[in-house]
Chains A and B, each alone.
Chain A
Amino acid sequence: MEKVQLLKGNEALAEAAVRAGCRYYFGYPITPQNEIPAYMSKRLPEVGGVFIQAESETASINMVYGACSCGARAMTSSSSPGISLMQEGLSYLAGADLPAVVINVMRGGPGLGNISPSQADYLQSVKGGGHGDYNLIVLAPYSVQEIVDLTIKCFDLAFKYRNPVMLIADGMLGQMSEPVVLPKMIDVKDDLDWVVGNGNHAIIHSLYLNPEDMLEIHNAKLQKKYEAIKNECIEFEKYLCDDATSIFVSYGTPARVCKAAIDELREKGIKVGLFRPISLWPFPEKELNELASQVANHSGKVIVVEMAKNQLEQDVKLAVNGKCEIVALNKLGGAIFNETEIIDFVLKDRK
């Protein structure tokens, strides 16, 4: 039988990365993700890996860039302000087609904000974040088990597409403990012909000086890759959507609260469901659009629930494309939603 363990989100994430073959971790301390570097500093040497506490997040992401240039499974983790510092590096990773994994356990902002859970880095993550036309693959777990599963997926996707992948979790997910099942250590055999270190005159770069015959072509290749990712990497969960007249759209911790609210609302005879995007980029646009038609037929609403203002909502608007009414419930201070306020919001909105 598979062993069930009680693990904190951040620690489960770190162990999952190790099981996925990650042997190089570079990071700078920041709450609420400090358990990740602490865990890695103990664990990586046990499996022949390397842990470095970098001098800054700028250094961390560039150490990851160096390690990925050699084809290694490398990662960094941070929280919001640190991720802001990594944006130039993320753009370079994307420009050089490098398979990095970056974790953002989000905290409140702007500025120093606070160390409480937040989802206010949504747009920064899914719209590129740094300079230039690029996309990160962005995955969002909502339980500790899903943190484990998606962390492993991050490495798979990063190497499959040679693209940086970001996992974003609100601070709540990083800090809470839940029972999880970890997979066995994966025996990674990345056979890569583009890496440096084999003496094949490999060059890792993102400079393409000539506009017409170089950068235009490079960007076209990147865009083609993003199209493939859009077709192949959509992931979402539907909860009680089949007969729903209104639909919550939410991810991460707020999605859990939505589920609890749905159960109670249904007891009151109000048929709501939850659409939970798991891949935030690519966003499950088509699937949400179809649900919007269903909601429109019942004169219902799409209700966005996010610990941010008009971030997930922007993508929801694009997906719904005017088919039905959209309302939003936001929290911006670091407190998490409780189900009563979500239920009250729905009841009040129906009046």
Chain B
Amino acid sequence: MTQKTLYSKPKSLTDKVMHYCPGCSHSVVHKLLAEIIDEFDIQKDAIFIAPVGCAVLLYDYIDCDTVEASHGRAAAVATGIKRVKPNKQVISYQGDGDLLAIGMGETLHAANRGENITVVFINNAIYGMTGGQMAPTTLVGQKTATTAAGRKPSNEGYPIGACELINTLQAPYFIERCKVNDSKSIIKTKNILKKALKYQMEDKGYSFVEILSNCPTNWGLSPKDSNKWIEDIMQKNFPIGNFRDNGKEA
């Protein structure tokens, strides 16, 4: 009997065992990115920015040139890189604390300059790395290490919609929110990421992809239940969909 390879690990993914908790969305998105890098054949042309957050060791897994940024400053680092290497594909990978709390300024201004980069935003509604504290995207009522009784708007305000915010700016070219909590949405997200990266390769400008992600460990849920929570609760607060696609044919 002959055997045919139907599926194999992407070339741009290393053999290292990932440190992510079982079922964590970070590993899913890493794999999608590695597949896309392979499909576009840009392993030597992509430069990643690793954030400070659970994905800080991104360069251990995605086998591309990578620069580790300080907490929140990935968009500024990406700007510096892209301006020196306009022909390379610069991908800034960031969590919600990184992108929307400490790095809000850098995030919005890079978007507002229309930097020709692709930002991959992992919204897991929590600070994974530091042990489950409130994030700017933590839902009202959501319990975290620093909102023991649940997030209260009277004290903590409301979750911030990153796509909605960036959509107020004129320069961005592509903005979309997606999720990776089931196989159908994983495939969809891959296509969205691919489109975003394609736009960068075509020098179209700034693209932003928000991915609703889980953090089973700090949500205190099983991977399966955490994916259900994204489906039932999280996406009600953060509606999935395209916010802007300037490349869409009329």
Residues of A within 8 A of B (CB): 24, 26, 50, 52, 54-56, 58-60, 62-70, 72, 74, 88-89, 92, 96, 196-207
Contacts and interface: CB of A to CB of B under 8 A. Distances in A.
Contact of A199 (B44, B79, B80): B44
Nearest to B57: A207
B68 interface: yes
B67 A196 contact: yes
Interface of A is mostly: mixed
Contact of A197 (B59, B65, B76, B77): B65
A92 B73 CA distance: 11
Lowest 4 CB-CB distances: which A-B pairs, in order? A66-B80, A199-B44, A62-B76, A196-B65
16 contacts: A50-B83, A59-B79, A62-B80, A62-B106, A63-B80, A64-B80, A65-B67, A65-B69, A66-B83, A69-B81, A196-B47, A197-B85, A198-B44, A199-B44, A200-B65, A205-B59
B81 A66 contact: yes
Given A59-B73, A199-B45, A205-B59, 20 more contacts: A24-B83, A24-B84, A50-B84, A52-B113, A58-B106, A59-B109, A65-B73, A65-B76, A66-B69, A66-B77, A66-B79, A66-B82, A72-B84, A196-B47, A196-B67, A197-B65, A197-B88, A205-B50, A205-B66, A205-B68
A197 B105 contact: no
Contacts of A197: 47, 65, 81, 84-85, 88
A70 B76 contact: no
Contact of A204 (B43, B68, B73, B83): B68
A197 B87 CA distance: 9
Nearest to A51: B83
Contacts of A206: 68
B109 to A, nearest CB: 4
B100 interface: no
Nearest to A64: B80
B56 interface: yes
B120 interface: no
Interface residues of B, number: 33
Contacts, number: 121
Interface string B206-226: 000000000000000000000
Given A69-B67, A196-B65, A54 B76 contact: yes
B73 A207 contact: no
Interface in B43-78: 43-45, 47, 49-50, 56-57, 59, 63-70, 73, 76-78
Contacts of B43: 199
A56 B102 CA distance: 13
A200 B65 CA distance: 7
A267 B61 CA distance: 72
Contacts of A52: 79, 83, 113
Contact of A55 (B44, B67, B80, B105): B105
Contact of A65 (B77, B88, B105): B77
Interface of B: 43-45, 47, 49-50, 56-57, 59, 63-70, 73, 76-85, 88, 105-106, 109, 113
Given A62-B80, A196-B81, A203-B59, A88 B70 contact: yes
A204 B74 CA distance: 13
A63 B85 contact: no
A201 B80 contact: no
B59 A62 contact: no
A60 B63 CA distance: 28
A72 B77 CA distance: 13
A93 to B, nearest CB: 10
B68 A59 contact: no
Given A74-B80, A89-B70, A58 B105 contact: yes
B63 A201 contact: yes
Nearest to A202: B65
Nearest to B59: A203
Given A72-B84, A197-B85, A66 B67 contact: yes
A55 B103 CA distance: 12
Contacts of A58: 73, 76, 105-106
Nearest to A50: B83
B70 to A, nearest CB: 5
Nearest to A204: B67
B79 A63 contact: yes
Nearest to A55: B109
Contact of A67 (B50, B83, B113): B83
A97 to B, nearest CB: 13
Contact of B65 (A54, A59, A92, A198): A198
Contacts of B70: 62, 65, 88-89, 92
B84 A62 contact: no
A234 B106 CA distance: 38
A66 B115 CA distance: 14
Contacts of B106: 55, 58-59, 62
Contacts of A205: 50, 59, 66-68
Looking at A54, A74, A89, A196, the one whose CB has the most chain B CB atoms below 10 A away is: A196
A66 B59 contact: no
A98 to B, nearest CB: 10
Contacts of B65: 196-203
